Amino acid sequence: MMRKTAALLFLSLPLALSRPALAQAPVQYTVAFPNAAHHEARVTVTFRELPAGPLQVRMARSSPGRYALHEFAKNVYDVQATDSKGKALSVVRPDPYGWMVAGHDGAVVLTYTLFGDRTDGTYAGIDSRHAHLNMPATLAYAQGLEQRPATVQFQLPEGWTVATQLKPEAGGSWTAPNLQYLMDSPTSLGPQQTRTWQEQGRTIEMQVLHDGTPAELDAYVANTQKIVKEAAAIFGGLPEYDFGRYTFIANYLPQTSGDGMEHRNSTSLTNSRPIRGNEAMANLGTVAHEFFHSWNVERLRPQDLEPFDFQRANMSSNLWFAEGFTQYYGMLLMRRAGLQTDDQFSQQALSGIVGAMLLSPGASRYSPVEMSQQAPFVDAAAAIDPNNRSNTYLSYYYIGAANALALDLELRSRFKTDLDTYMRALWKEHGEQQNYAPAKPYTLRDLQRVLGTVSKDTAFAGQFFRQHIMGHELPKYDALLAPAGMLVRPARAGQATLGARLQFNPDSTATLGTTLLGSPLYQAGLDREDVVLKIDGRKPTNAKEVQTLLAAHKPGDVLPVEVRSRGLVRTASVTLQEDNTLEVVTYEQAKRPVSKAQKKFRAEWLNGKAKG
């Protein structure tokens, strides 16, 4: 009796459970914009060949490339469901993140309204001019169907076209092999301006929404092409993009938030800055960073991010490498592509990361590994309670980039190799083999092991990781930069400072931000939200007034500072310090002699590597 019942149950199971995912009915999406002016889209999802029982539909809670929770379900409403015959189905909400649909006949047609008015790499931005869609913020999915392919049809307003890494199909639809790829495929809809070129047998395209001229876009694309060539030279060629195509999905409209987000075969680039003049250079810095990600983090990927989990915050111990080394190379690519001079590179790029590394209280307190683990709390994470991150945290972008710089210089000066060689070795072992996902994601131990191989010194590799990656010993940049004819020096030697971040108020007072550990105001017992009433008897009317006041003093002078601290007025004695801001300059700028060896070292480091 039991055996017969079991056999009957097995025979009655839906065919979908025994078929390969690609042979199962794809999940079908239709995205329409009947109310775009009010930032709404109407999404229809059709699930077919479903097993018996309720269908669990979810909105993602996190997004690839972001590590905090974002709770995308908060922007979904008017949820309805029918079966294949149009019969209304029961829809209940068992938790804040999704819906349970019961009573279906093997098919569910789910419809909902999506609100989105933030154009960046994380959310959805919809208006009458465009729609910029991050898929975890846009598309609901069903638990248990994650390996099925997906088809997306966009119902476009007149004049709009599609920019996406999804695979184009006949009839105007777009497909993804599975949920991971679908969720990793941002899509821009609008009157795209497109530029396409061939690079090493790959199709590279830039699809742009902007208010500038075609000539400005041509110049911007020409500079992007230089970046692409220099990035490919580091790794010895471009990746095998899944469909032979890489897309820069760029939105430079005024309503856009500044962001860049990496994806397997594309990047989402958003900023309200135009693509002309100095503002174009700032945007191109994001282009360089994000394009480097098509190797580092998308294919050369940490094991602790595989596979990405859409229902929780994703923590990694390796973002110092995945993001930080990418930050370093994004800056280096700008110089190698000829978009910066040596002086600009040293002052604009190196000064920032060296100064942050040496002066941030957090960098001398926690390791790059520990900083990486903080991402779920800081990467576009929202919280209303105050924190003390000014004194405990340095972004894994900066702490990673600062260590990449130190390692590159040390490999060049001591081991006659370089960071490019290290990245290529990691790529060959842990990045090159792919099938919509890395075949061999790396661990922290792998990063150390490969460094030992490249340097031919496992003791050095172990020491570097113990001291600088798992520890928090600060690099000695004076010695490391000297072979390149570069100098770390005070940017404002002899100038007195309060070390304060002040927000100036209409009543000629100023409110303090968090005071930095060791700064004059911190030492005097002043803290965030204290209101400065007078400094040395004068009201802090604006930044210029305060700077003029400080210019009349020297480090070591003691000034009375009258403050209102949580309702109490008191006067604190504040001892001024020398402004400790640092800058990195070339020996030429510092008017120091530069040797031929230093020039050669610098050229081998910073000059372009692309041929032709």
Q: Which of 557, 562, 573 is nearest to 537 (CA)?
A: 562
Task: Specify whether 346 is located in the same domain as 437.
Answer: yes
Check which CATH number belongs to the domain holding 207 and give it. 1.10.390.10
Closest CA to 514 of 387, 409, 420: 387
Q: Residues of the chain whose pLDDT is less than 50?
A: 1-18
Quick check: is 606 in a domain? no
Are 557 and 511 part of one and the same domain?
yes
Residue 558: CB atoms within 10 Å: 13
Burial class (CB in 10 A: 0-12, 13-18, 19+), 346: buried
Over residues 321-361, the pLDDT tens digits come to 999 999 999 999 999 999 999 999 999 999 999 999 999 99
181 and 204 in a single domain? The answer is no
Judge if 179 and 199 occupy the same domain.
Answer: no
**In this structure, are 213 and 231 located in the same domain?**
yes
103 belongs to a structural domain: yes
Q: What is the pTM of this model?
A: 0.94
Residues sharing a CB contact under 8 Å with residue 25, sequence separation 6 or more, in sequence order: 16, 48, 49, 148
Same domain, 474 and 513: no
The reply to whether 461 falls in a domain is yes
Q: Is residue 151 part of a domain?
A: yes
Q: Indicate the residue among 142, 159, 189 that finishes a domain.
A: 189
Position 22 scores a pLDDT of 55
d(CA 269, CA 260): 5
Residues 323 and 447 placed together within one structural domain of the fold: yes
- Domain ends where: 138, 167, 189? 189
The dihedral region occupied by 39, where left means phi > 0, alpha psi between -120 and 50, and beta the remainder, is: left
Dist CA 354 CA 475 (whole Å): 9
Residues 344 and 448 in one domain: yes
Residue 259 belongs to what domain range?
192-294
Question: Does 8 map to a domain?
Answer: no
In a domain, 525, yes or no: yes
Same domain, 401 and 343: yes
How many domains does one find in the chain? Answer: 4
For residue 238, give the nearest of 256, 265, 220 by alpha carbon.
Answer: 265
End-of-domain residue from the set 432, 459, 487? 487
Cis, bond preceding 307 (omega within 30 deg of 0): yes
Whether residue 605 is contained in a domain is answered as no
| 408 residue type, one letter | D
Q: Residues 177, 182, 186, CA angle at the centre, nearest 5°?
A: 140
In a domain, 595, yes or no: no
What's the CA gap between 78 and 114, in Å, rounded? 9
435/525 same-domain check? no
334 and 480 part of one domain: yes
DSSP strand pairing (108-115 vs 40-47): antiparallel
**pLDDT given at position 8:** 30
Domain shared by 31 and 121, yes or no: yes
